Structure 1
Amino acid sequence: MLASIQRFFQQALAEPEAQRDDTPTLELAAAALLCEVMRADYRVDPAQLAALRELLMTHLHLEAEAVASLMTMARDEVESSVDHYQFVSLIKQHYDYGRRVELVKMMWVLALADGEHHHLEEHRIRQLADLLHVSHADFIRAKLSVQEQGG
């Protein structure tokens, strides 16, 4: 599975004109980062899986079948990755600051979907926000916004 994802990235980055656009690559990168948050506390709650599915459908404008495939690929990638540099790098390259803040907010939605505020999930979101060059103030604003909306 990892080899097929790496081939996909190499082909997408090496032959950008062969692709209609870079959306699938960005979708996988965003989904992988969200999966990383979801598994930060070493357990995946069904409410978090449902929230991930909803986030991918709503914010990334994907159909249910594409979401299922993307979730499987992203979860497999996160489980076998050493780091997420390729994903963070791709997001930073193609997302403006506002979209990166929105991604951090999505991470908070996912982390709080199980009704718990776990310190390991918060730590992982903080790490990813730093890597995405999202300010601490926007990290806190995203957290508070999601908490005010009830998770």
Structure 2
Amino acid sequence: MIESLQRLFQDMMAAGEAPEQGEPTLALATAVLLCEVARADYHLDDAELARLREVLDQRFALDASALDALLAQAREEVDTAVDHHRFVRRVRDHCDYAERYELVRLMWSLALVDGHKDPLEEHRIRRLAELLHVRHGDFVRARLAEEEDARR
């Protein structure tokens, strides 16, 4: 367990030193895609940032400093990357369908945490779901499930 975490951090740091040379880690790819959704409306509020931290912590069990580093790197990638296909490809190639569906559902939970379904966030999630090869029916099911959860 500790060795796998060390490998994850080494991969993450290697990607941070020279992102053009290596493929992103799964943690970084996931964080970038989630940041992309959170910032689709050109505003990242405290509720979205808190939900983003919570999701990444639950998925990757990172300590606070590693989580901060991951988020900083993900935000930088969102700002500077020409496109996000290498991040999508990493998730698509290393996650099964159920995991990709769950990621789309997490994108919806992030988009709805501020109590508002922004059309820009919806569009971004739709495009990412298509790129992740998540069926449209599952995209809709994820949205409806998260809208129901948000009403509770």
Name the % identity.
52
Q: Which amino acid aligns with 2:84?
A: H
Post-superposition offset of 1:62: 2.0
How do residues 16-95 of structure 1 correspond to structure 2 at under 5 angstroms?
25-95=25-95
Counterpart of 1:7 in structure 2 is: 18
How do residues 110-125 of structure 1 correspond to structure 2 at under 5 angstroms?
110-125=110-125
Q: Which amino acid aligns with 1:62?
A: L
Counterpart of 2:7 in structure 1 is: none
Structure 1 gap segments, 5+ residues each: 14-23
Measured in 1, the distance between the counterparts of 2:94 and 2:134 equals 14
Structure 1 runs, 4 residues or longer, greater than 4 Å off: none
CA contact 2:113–2:150 (8 Å) conserved in 1: no
SS at match of 1:134: coil
Counterpart of 1:107 in structure 2 is: 107
Once structures 1 and 2 are overlaid, which stretch shifts more, 78-87 or 56-65?
56-65
Q: Which amino acid aligns with 1:128?
A: L
Counterpart of 1:18 in structure 2 is: none
Measured in 2, the distance between the counterparts of 1:132 and 1:4 equals 22
Query: What do the CA deviations read for 1:109-133 (whole angstroms, capped 9, x no partner)?
Result: 1111111110000000000000000
- Gap change, CA 1:45 and 1:112, over 3 Å in 2: same
TM-score, length basis structure 2: 0.84
Q: Which amino acid aligns with 1:87?
A: F
TM-score, length basis structure 1: 0.85
Query: What do the CA deviations read for 1:77-136 (whole angstroms, capped 9, x no partner)?
Result: 001111101100111110000000011011001111111110000000000000000000
- State the Cα RMSD in Å: 1.9
Structure 2 gap segments, 5+ residues each: 1-13
Measured in 1, the distance between the counterparts of 2:136 and 2:40 equals 20
- For these two proteins, the number of residue pairs brought into alignment is 138
Q: Which amino acid aligns with 1:40?
A: A
- Gap change, CA 1:26 and 1:123, over 3 Å in 2: same
Counterpart of 1:98 in structure 2 is: 98
CA contact 2:15–2:25 (8 Å) conserved in 1: no
